[in-house]
Amino acid sequence: MHTNDAGFDIMATDYWSTPEAARGRFFVSTTDDTFRLLVPPTRMEETKEWLVTEFVIVSRGRWPARGKSDGLEILFEDHTDTPYVIHLAPESIDKMPHDADQDQNHTPPRWRFAVWTPQGKLLEFPCRYRRVEKIPYIKGW
């Protein structure tokens, strides 16, 4: 998987033609304090649920249920009891964020979260990043 970017925008990627995309797996690329979620065509319908999102919370932690020492949880905060959540293993992320890049309480979000499809950028949200002991975490900010 390779992305070619200009700042936080993706100019080109071969993701859409990969076996992972064909299997319906999401992929995250990070750059310039932006998480970029690449959505495979088979999962486009799910993006409709994200339209009511206020902001996104990305949590990084161990994922013992899957036998993974690391992973990301992406929570689309819509202030309901059942927000949309995605869990990703390290092989679905090009570069993990550093602990030093965490958001702090009582400060504005420092990250952005962009949703990309084969047609281009579909959605963009403010985003907060944090470290947690383990995922699933599924807690608001």
The answer on pLDDT for 4 being more than 60 is no
Q: CB–CB of 97/20 below 8 Å?
A: no
| Residue 110 neighbours by CB under 8 Å, 6+ apart | 33, 101, 103, 128, 129
| Residue 107 neighbours by CB under 8 Å, 6+ apart | none
Domain residue ranges of the chain, discontinuous segments joined by +: 3-134
Q: Express each pLDDT in 48-93 by its tens digit.
A: 999 999 999 999 999 999 999 999 999 999 999 999 999 999 999 9
Closest CA to 38 of 134, 136, 119, 133: 119
Tell me the whole-structure pTM to 2 decimals.
0.94
